[in-house]
Structure 1
Amino acid sequence: MSSMTPLDVLNAAGNLRRVAVRTPLLSSPLVDAILGRRVVVKAESMQRTGSFKLRGAYNALAAMRPEQRACGVICASSGNHAQALALAARLFAVAATVVVPADAPAVKLQAIDALGARIMTYDRRAGHRDAVVQQVAEERGLTIVPSANHPDVIAGAGTVAWELLQDEPGLVAIFVPVGGGGLAAGTALAAHAGQPHGVRVIGVEPAVADDTRRSLHAGRRISIPPPRTIADGLGHTEPAYLPFEINRKLLDSIEAVPEHRIADAMAYLWQYYRATAEPSGAVAFAGLLQAVDRLPAGPVGVVLSGGNADWTTYRPLLDSAMERINSDAPVLH
């Protein structure tokens, strides 16, 4: 297993003090009554750049040698990590280049551009983004900051759960989305930081993009064809190496949720919490709805990982889901 420990998350929390927003916990008495337990939603949609990704990107830059950082940084991302690295680079006054899919949501591309990063695009269906990043990094002497496969990125992401467990002790489970696996790995590390009774960490990914679930079942990383999912930030074809090594040891289980349930989760988060969640950000709540009857009694935490929803995509998904969830009995599962 990785040599990372909960201390790495604690150190990251120190680096992020006065940089990252300590995002609030949202609750709904109605949801709590329906599900028969307290549910708290960690609203990383209210984080700077609209997702949890700033935590890992900034922590990675903070850990670099100043001369290395000054040469500039580069990443590949579906959008949120790119925004985060662009902001982190601006805070450190260094140059950033980001490689994003050509079909990334416009709201993400506009935000990246506004932060001053250089944008390069690639065809998501053709793949090869990592090769593009590697080539550009070598040509220009840039340091690659992966979205998940980096200990400082994982540790920074883990501060989401570190705050959650500080603000809401006694959770029996935390639901967290899984793409490359960095947030899940960081959450699992934080959950093992002296919790007296333990807390289950349950990863959630789209059923059509279940590379981590397949890999965990196989005991090794499995590659899948490029998936088509509304959760664009979780459309990975293979788990990242370092997060997988952590998750295979520390992740308690994983849920794979269908596309309609992800859309429903977006609607529930809006209707009951007044929270805007992009599809990837709503996946963990979808996992809660799917698995709630299999959980031990007690309060549950859910990570709403991002809210960078493109309106042209968000509105029709929300409209159809709201009609669906309110058409019959207003129950959550």
Structure 2
Amino acid sequence: MPNNHKNKVFAVAPMIDWTDRHCRFFHRQISRTALLYTEMVVADAIIHGPRDGLLARDASENPVALQLGGSDPRKLAEAVRLAEPFGYDEINLNVGCPSDRVQSGTFGACLMLEPETVARSVAAMKAVARVPVTVKCRIGVDEQDPEQALPDLISQVLDSGADAIWVHARKAWLKGLSPKENREIPPLDYEIVYRMKQRWPDVFIGINGGIKTLDEAEAHLDHVDGVMLGRAAYQNASILADVDHRFSGAPAIEIDWFDIRDRMMAYAAEHIATGGRLGHVTRHMVGLFTGLPGSRRYRQILSTDANRPGAGPEVIAAAFAAVEFVEGDVAVSA
């Protein structure tokens, strides 16, 4: 059966404390085409903080999008301007994160209650951006009726020039649920996202939330333009190995995991040489071989040995050596 989803967008979701530059470098070794996102970076931090540390990235990460947090259009525009030299392919405004951190700053999911502010912010960002400006939102918050709140937000940000909308297909509850609970408890409503695509057929609309497999991702792409996986892609990054073939039309190839091992060892060595620690890199690799024989020992090595003082890239080699690779998963055995 022909794949009619070629050239639709597969993305790895922005996740605070997870999708840092080391995570993105690792994911890029497995998929060449997945759209990667930074963790949310607050506009004030870019303007007043250690900009290079916040925005620096490896050139191999592209395509990569910078997700911004904020609610002041002028500050967001300034953050976009300051980020421009770092070469991101997209700027995304966070209108979906429900954490206490964003609530105290009145941004993230709080902005679902202020669509006019979001629209002004998008217009200000578009005025200075040289790349697409997109919005990632929820279907609503608290007692909002998603059938009114979501199309109202989409309509206003499109009028302000937004190039694409990503929708996490759950409400966020700003009081009473933790960020973790907000990712799991509010029921998913994929159908409302599909209806938004039907209402705006010429607008890129992508979907996020609770999607665990590439088969599920393909099913969503019968209805929308893009699909975004978060925890499923992070906790078992091997899921990314078939993304290029299934979503971008690349030839089906068998991943050489040992080549990836060597590239990660070289990357870790460079990071350590500049004052970093091995654990900064390997913490994102822990779930890679979930389900394979030896994966428990692999996890133990990366979770413990990699965090010992003086740990070096050889720890990565030792972890890979613990895995009993299965025919079809890796081209050669350990």
Q: Same fold judged by TM-score > 0.5?
A: no
Q: Highest Rg: 1 or 2?
A: 2
TM-score (norm 1): 0.29
- Relative contact order (C-alpha < 8 Å, sep 6+): which is higher? 1
TM-score (norm 2): 0.29
